[in-house]
């Protein structure tokens, strides 16, 4: 059998690349959300001794919390560390200062795999525990929705502060407009 090989031109490849990146991101988002939600639901159900009747609610909460975290994480990172991260659909961490040749690099964006769980899994589990507790106390629905968001922001800020202390990163919440703004050479500044 003869093989037919198709050679893509650089122009065609460049046109297809954004679509490939979008598919890759969506695949990672879904698999990450699924794995994170499954892990967090298992942990929360074990810790809280949830009954089988609330399992569906816990799974839905896990997916919503993971979805919230996936959407907000990069922008929250930029707010904490002034690094240049933005919404995933607007470039994600493409303009993060980890890509700079010189200067400080965002401690969250360069975190080793062995400690990155503190920025991904830990907030998710905490959000679900807070949601489960609010539900068990029969809090109003709006409280059940807002408490996990508040807990994400509170725990995320605490974890980020620990990263800042451990790494010696110079920017945290206040300070320069962006940690991304550094001298690139002796005559020009980036903006």
Q: What is the pLDDT of residues 58-70, one digit of tens each?
A: 788 888 999 999 9
pLDDT at 183: 42
- Asked, for residue 177, whether it belongs to a domain, the answer is no
- Asked, for residue 112, whether it belongs to a domain, the answer is yes
Q: How many residues are present in the chain?
A: 191
- Asked, for residue 180, whether it belongs to a domain, the answer is no
- Asked, for residue 4, whether it belongs to a domain, the answer is no
- Dist CA 20 CA 181 (whole Å): 31
Which tokens sit at 185?
């050479």
- Asked, for residue 172, whether it belongs to a domain, the answer is no
- Asked, for residue 173, whether it belongs to a domain, the answer is no
Count: domains in the chain: 1
Task: Report the chain's mean pLDDT, rounded to a whole number.
Answer: 75
Residue entry with tokens 């409280």? 143
- Kindly compute the dihedral angle of the four CA atoms of residues 148, 152, 154, 155, in this order, to the nearest 10 degrees: 120
- Measured CA to CA in angstroms, residue 118 lies from 16, 49, 95, 111 at distances of 35, 24, 23, 10
pLDDT at 42: 58
Q: By the 8 A CB rule, do 88 and 99 touch? A: no
- Asked, for residue 6, whether it belongs to a domain, the answer is no
Please list the ranges in the chain whose pLDDT falls under 70. 1-54, 175-191
Domain interval for residue 124:
19-167
Does the reported pTM lie above 0.85? no
- Asked, for residue 90, whether it belongs to a domain, the answer is yes
């Amino acid at each position: 059998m003869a093989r037919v090989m198709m050679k893509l031109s650089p122009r065609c490849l460049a046109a297809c690349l954004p679509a490939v990146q979008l598919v890759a991101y969506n695949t990672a988002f879904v698999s990450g959300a699924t794995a994170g939600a499954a892990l967090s639901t298992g942990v929360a159900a074990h810790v809280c001794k949830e009954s089988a009747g609330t399992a569906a609610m816990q799974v839905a909460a896990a997916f919503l919390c993971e979805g919230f975290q996936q959407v907000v994480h990069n922008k929250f990172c930029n707010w904490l560390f002034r690094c240049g991260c933005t919404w995933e659909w607007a470039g994600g961490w493409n303009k993060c200062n980890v890509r700079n040749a010189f200067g400080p690099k965002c401690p969250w964006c360069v975190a080793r795999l062995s400690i990155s769980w503190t920025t991904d899994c830990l907030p998710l589990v905490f959000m679900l525990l807070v949601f489960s507790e609010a539900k068990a106390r029969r809090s109003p629905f709006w409280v059940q929705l807002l408490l996990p968001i508040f807990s994400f922001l509170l725990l995320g800020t605490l974890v980020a502060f620990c990263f800042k202390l451990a790494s010696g990163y110079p920017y945290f919440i206040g300070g320069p407009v962006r940690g991304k703004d550094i001298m690139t050479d002796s005559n020009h500044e980036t903006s």
